Each structure stands twice: as C-alpha cells, then as structure tokens.
Chain A
C-alpha cells in the first residue's frame, strides 16, 4: 500500500489531500475479478460501491485513501460520494485495524446481561479501549449495535465468527484461540 512518506510534516492539509488524491493504487486482479462479479447483479456499476469497498477491505484489511480512490476511479463514482458511503457504514474501516476485529455487542439485551463487564475484561486483558488495536496488531476492539442474537446474549463477533452466551472465561479462551491461530 502506498504511503505518503514524501510529504513533510509542514505541508498544509490541502497539499496532503491533493497529493494523496493523485495516488489511486492499482486494484489487484483478484479485487477486480470480484468487483466485476458483483457488477453483474446490478444495472449500474455505481451500485456496487459498497461491495467494492468491502472487497478491497477483505483483501487489504482496511480501506486506505489510495484504495478508495482506486475504487472510485474504477466504478466512475466521484471520490467524495464514495467517501460519503465509506464513512457512513459501521463496518468499513478507513483506518488500519488488527488481524482480528472484535465486535462486541453493546445493545440492550447484551447490556442487561453484562456486556459492560465483558468490555472492561477485554480492555484489561488486551490493553485496548474501543477503537484501538493491540501493539502486536492482532486485535482491534469495536462496539457493534445489536447483533440480533439477544436470546443468547451477551454476544460478540471476531471477524466473521459469532460467539454467544459469553462469560469472561469464554472470552479468555476465544482470545487465546485467536492468538494461537496468528
């Protein structure tokens, strides 16, 4: 991924944006293949903006400015419009995240059943607050609105996996399992 390492710290914000704007990266073949597949589902290419961002995120871990610009160019969507979509959705990450994203449900049923205590436990165990990533780059912790799993609350997801009826012991096990996978 391209980083603006040539921009010195005194450069004005406008210049940073302008110089970043020139740097749409090349989408990979795999990304293009998947975006093209999604395009067959819609009459207009612009409709797959969100899908394309999700595809890029799947491959790159997050959506950098360079990725966003690449998608905007590829689908012929004004970059500002696509940014409006990217920043609107909870699950599009415009900053780097850890290898495993923990989505802890903090809505009503999980709250009644003690998700605040679970959050405190995860924060203490991993040394991160909401929105932060562990130093080893393994975990990012994010709150997620109601996961629709209220009869098995408290619940959370790690990546695409759902974990239910959580206790602090279960969370310790889940964290250990993901550490050993790394």
Chain B
C-alpha cells in the first residue's frame, strides 16, 4: 500500500487529529521497524537518495545534512525540530502540527534512530497554543504506546521527546540562534563553523530540521525511496505544502507534487484573484524572498528554477500583491517586520533595517526624495550576503532589491506625488 499525499492523508479539517491508535490503524508508526532492519548510516543514505530537501526555506538535501554528524562517542546527541514558524506569509507547519501530531512524532523517532540521537526537542512557537496542546497529548500517547522512552519496541534504541515553547522571536528560526535559545540564552546566532552537526546543543552533535521536513521521514522509510521519488513531477521527488495568501478567492495550503507550477496553485487551488482585483506581483515563499511577476507564474516550484528567475522558493507559500495595494507599502510592512525581529548582533541588520524602514515611511508619507532611491539600492547590497552574521538581513534585502527592480516607477511616483493607494 502506498499513498500520494503522505503529509496530509490523515488530515480532515474540523475533526480532531488522530490519536495514537487511530494513527496506527491508518498505517502509522511502521517506519521505525523498517528503519531498524538497517544500520543507522544506511537509513541516512535512504533519506539522502530520496532527494528530500529541507522544507524550512533553504532546501538543502536532508540526508546530506544528516550525514555530517560524527559517529557516536557514547555521549548525548540531539535532534531538534524547528517549529518556530514565523516567516511572514508562512502557515504550513501549523497545519501539520495541529492536525496530525503523530506524523511529526513518528518522523522524529525514525530520524533519531538514523542520527542515533538520545533526546529530541520540538522548538515550538509560543503563539501556537493549539499545536502545543495537541503535541503534548500526542507525546504522552506515544510514551504510553511504547514508541518513546527506554528500549523502544524492545530494541536497544531509547528516545525522549520534549516540547519547548518559545516566546516569539523570528531569529530563533536560524538554527544556531535556536540552539542558544534552547540552552536558555539570548537567541543570537553562533559563528559557523563548527556546524551544529558537530557542536550544537551544549556542544554536542545536533541536527535541526523543519517540521515538514521531518514529517516526510515516515513515508520515505515506510514506502521506500522509489515511491518517494515517484511522487514528484519530472525529476523531482516527493510532495510539499504550497499555498497562497492575499486577495485570492480561496486562500489556503495544499499538499502538491514537487514541481507543480505557481499557476496551478494560484489558479486551480486558490481560484485566482478576488473579483475586482488584478494580480500585480507575488513573493513566492515568505517575506524573505524576492518579488516575482505574473510572467513567472508558469515556473515550477523548484528551488533551482525559482533561483534562475531571481528569487527563492523559500517556504513555497505565495503572498500575492494586488493592483489596489501599494507595492512600497508591502515592502515597508516586510522591512518593519525584519527591523523588529533583528537580534541586533551586527550593524547592517541592526542599523540598516530601521534606516530602510524610515526611508520607506518617508516615501509613503510623500516626503521621499530621489536620492532616497539610491540609498535604498545601496542598503539592499550593504545588507546582502557576505556582510552579515546570519541570513536575516540578506533575506530582508530580497523584497527590497526586487521592488527596486520591478516597481522603480512606483518609487519615483511616490517621490513626486506621494502614495495614491488606499492601503499603504
């Protein structure tokens, strides 16, 4: 038996998520037994061969990321699930955790076997209160069901899973900042190398993976690598959650084959723009991705193809800009978020973002000057890759730099006549 929608097959909005027994009856909790027929390194190899890429935004091959963990030395090793979903416009991990918590837990158990992790943490966004309740209940059920604790399924493998609820800071999505936060410290990012796989939580080998990434693990082990590869379109492997928000008729998030085009999600699932609104542009995968234009709609939602068009797939949840909303207002909204969420560690981010926000405020108030456009251009490169400690400011620079490319006339119009939009 195999399925075409492994991430959402148990999800039915409006009904309570499956409990341990229901989840098991639906074919769940089989992946650990399959994994245990193999050596941990071979399980990592399977995940690598499946082509699964990280679903948190960077898209790096998951099995390859895992493979950098050193051989066990008898000390603790950690798996940390990054459930601190806070990228503007991103609402997929909430769906998975609130509606099928056992899928995440099963994925964590099997991943921990592969990594030979001794303890696993879920680093959950504090505002996700329903997910907190659902996960706590599911973790307790998994202990009762013998899938967690000492000598799981009478094997040598033992694992504890703990839920950590955070208190709202976007920077915790950066894996080394997350590790600091989990240690009880201020969540500034750490210098890399060493990478967390070698020296992470309390200096021990640690893997940090996104919720959706880990939710792919049960399927890969249960149904096999070939099945997973067959799920994607063309050369692509697997499915992923993609969606649309903004002024569309049917905003939402759906599990679709990797390689699906933006247009399919936008037209067939989100049902296009609301009446009276035209599509102006969109950001393809969260606030830290460059704007794309209607002519990019036929691109497949694959990191490489989106990169060629000058953006990033990111979290693959589109936010659409309509013709009645100010593009500069949208950029200002995004920059305000990043300025607020900067950890303050390095100058381009701490000082650059508030400066950009200030200039965009001036633009919206009709006080912008032509030289401000040049400053914005300089700032977007000053905050770009290579100048900062982590990816926060370079991410923030993406919508800014692409807005200067696509909406230069709007900037000039704002300087000359102020903002003409109602939403600005």
| A146 and B88 contact, CB distance less than 8 A | yes
Bound form: Cα–Cα A81–B187 in Å: 12
> B261 contacts the other chain (Cβ, under 8 Å)?
no
Bound form: Cα–Cα A69–B319 in Å: 44
Least CB distance, B235 to chain A, in whole angstroms? 30
Least CB distance, A82 to chain B, in whole angstroms? 9
Q: Which residues of B contact A153 (CB under 8 A)?
A: 245, 251
Q: Which residues of A contact B88 (CB under 8 A)?
A: 107-109, 145-146
> B287 contacts the other chain (Cβ, under 8 Å)?
yes
What 0/1 pattern do residues 272 to 299 of B give for CB contact below 8 A with A? 0000000000010001000000000000
Q: Which of B121, B167, B245 interacts with A91 by CB under 8 Å?
A: B167
The B contact surface, by secondary structure, is: mixed
> B183 contacts the other chain (Cβ, under 8 Å)?
yes
Q: Which residues of B contact A46 (CB under 8 A)?
A: 183-184
> B337 contacts the other chain (Cβ, under 8 Å)?
yes
| B319 and A112 contact, CB distance less than 8 A | yes
| B321 and A146 contact, CB distance less than 8 A | no
> B334 contacts the other chain (Cβ, under 8 Å)?
yes
Q: Which residues of A contact B226 (CB under 8 A)?
A: none
Least CB distance, B184 to chain A, in whole angstroms? 4
Of B65-73, B89-97, B304-312, the stretch lying at the interface with chain A is B89-97
| A91 and B89 contact, CB distance less than 8 A | no
Bound form: Cα–Cα A139–B222 in Å: 50
Least CB distance, B243 to chain A, in whole angstroms? 6
Least CB distance, A26 to chain B, in whole angstroms? 22
| A146 and B169 contact, CB distance less than 8 A | no
Name the residue of chain B whose CB is nearest to the CB of A87: B186
Least CB distance, A36 to chain B, in whole angstroms? 14
| B168 and A145 contact, CB distance less than 8 A | yes
| B330 and A111 contact, CB distance less than 8 A | yes
Q: Which residues of A contact B321 (CB under 8 A)?
A: 112
Bound form: Cα–Cα A109–B337 in Å: 12
| A150 and B245 contact, CB distance less than 8 A | yes
Bound form: Cα–Cα A36–B400 in Å: 46
Q: Which of A48, A144, A150, A160 interacts with B90 by CB under 8 Å?
A: A150
> A92 contacts the other chain (Cβ, under 8 Å)?
yes
Q: Which residues of B contact A108 (CB under 8 A)?
A: 88-89, 283, 287, 319, 330, 333-334, 337
Bound form: Cα–Cα A108–B130 in Å: 23
Name the residue of chain B whose CB is nearest to the CB of A159: B129
Least CB distance, A83 to chain B, in whole angstroms? 10
> B246 contacts the other chain (Cβ, under 8 Å)?
yes
Q: Which of B127, B128, B167, B185 interacts with A54 by CB under 8 Å?
A: B167
Q: Which residues of A contact B184 (CB under 8 A)?
A: 42, 44, 46-50, 77, 85
> B341 contacts the other chain (Cβ, under 8 Å)?
yes
What 0/1 pattern do residues 34 to 49 of A give for CB contact below 8 A with B? 0000000111101111
Bound form: Cα–Cα A171–B82 in Å: 32
From known contacts A43-B76, A47-B182, A112-B247, infer whether A91 and B168 are also in contact, taking CB-CB under 8 Å.
yes
Bound form: Cα–Cα A49–B187 in Å: 12
What 0/1 pattern do residues 80 to 113 of B give for CB contact below 8 A with A? 0000011111110110000000000000000000
What 0/1 pattern do residues 313 to 351 of B give for CB contact below 8 A with A? 000010101100100011001101100110100000000
Q: Which residues of A contact B406 (CB under 8 A)?
A: none
Bound form: Cα–Cα A71–B262 in Å: 50
Bound form: Cα–Cα A147–B168 in Å: 10
Q: Which residues of B contact A43 (CB under 8 A)?
A: 76, 202
Bound form: Cα–Cα A153–B325 in Å: 15
| B128 and A150 contact, CB distance less than 8 A | no
> A169 contacts the other chain (Cβ, under 8 Å)?
no
What 0/1 pattern do residues 46 to 89 of A give for CB contact below 8 A with B? 11111101100000000000000000000001000100110011
| B168 and A146 contact, CB distance less than 8 A | no
Least CB distance, A106 to chain B, in whole angstroms? 8
Cross-chain pairs A/B with CB under 8 angstroms, 27 sampled: A41-B164, A43-B202, A44-B202, A46-B183, A47-B183, A48-B184, A90-B168, A90-B169, A92-B167, A107-B89, A107-B333, A108-B334, A109-B89, A111-B329, A112-B245, A144-B127, A144-B168, A145-B86, A145-B170, A145-B340, A146-B287, A146-B337, A148-B91, A150-B319, A151-B253, A152-B251, A153-B245
Contacts from A to B (Cβ < 8 Å): 41-44, 46-51, 53-54, 77, 81, 84-85, 88-92, 103, 106-109, 111-114, 116, 144-153, 157, 160-162
Can you add 13 more A-B contacts, CB < 8 Å, to A41-B162, A89-B166, A147-B127?
Answer: A43-B76, A46-B184, A90-B168, A90-B169, A91-B167, A92-B167, A108-B337, A109-B89, A145-B341, A146-B90, A150-B245, A150-B251, A162-B129
